[in-house]
Structures are given as structure tokens and as C-alpha cells.
Structure 1
């Protein structure tokens, strides 16, 4: 899992460790069978928060985040 603290936050919209601790129990668990997800859910949430705050388009998502298609899905 990503360890993002205040010193390593890339954008003001990135989740803090406290926010991630509160949100994580509500996210779906990783399936026991099949392919493991390649994108970190915390990074996907960070990308969604960035898009909501900036008002930017999907294709304009910075390369620091997962591919825009993954975040969109």
C-alpha cells in the first residue's frame, strides 16, 4: 500500500494517512481468485479527488496517477 504522509504528498488533494484509514474499510476487498488489481486504490482515489478539485478532463490527468482509463473505470 502507498505510504503518503504530509512530507510526500504530491498534490493538496492527496489523501492523508488519517483519511485513508477512515475510507479503507468501505472499499471492496481484493478477490481471492483471478488477477490481482494493478492499480492501488489509494492512488485511484487521489486521482479522483484531483479531478474533482481541478475540474480537468480525464485525458489531462497528470502522469503521477494511474492511467486515466483505469481511474475512469
Structure 2
């Protein structure tokens, strides 16, 4: 995945990763791909209170926007290509509605 992203976006140098990827395997994989900087995003340990985490919130918000589309609310798709197409359609719908408001 990093190799493909590196080819598509050659100027990209900073990667955000979940705390699951704290180990040495990701760092070794990044070393082979070029000059990458990795930032591990972790949850705050405060229990009982909700606090929007700066980077995690972007992903959660995007998934919530996609979840508003009936087809993407559950995992109905049988193939990756079909799921990818529906995510693209949902993105186009979201962006076109935002452009229409301006």
C-alpha cells in the first residue's frame, strides 16, 4: 500500500497510523520506501468523557458521512470493486451537494 501511495503522491512524506502499528514492522517497511515520517495517533486515556481526537475524528466523521448512504450503511458488496465504486459515488454526492450550497 505504501509503495502505491508513494508513486501516486510523491510529495507525501507524513503518515498517520493507529496505535496498533507501533511496532518495528511498519518502521522497517517505511525505511524501504523513502523518507517518510510516521505519527502514531493514540486515544486519550480519560474514561467516561468524550473528547474528539484531532486526527481520529477526521476518519470517524468521514465514515459517518458515508454511512448516511443506505448502500454503505452495511457491508452489502460482494467485491472490492463494487464497494470502491459506491464509496466514490457517495463522495461525489457529498461534494456535489456542498458545491450546490455555495
Q: TM-score, normalised by structure 1?
A: 0.31
The structure whose residues are more often helix, as a share, is 2
Structure with larger RCO (C-alpha < 8 A, sep 6+): 1
Q: TM-score, normalised by structure 2?
A: 0.25
| Greater gyration radius | 2
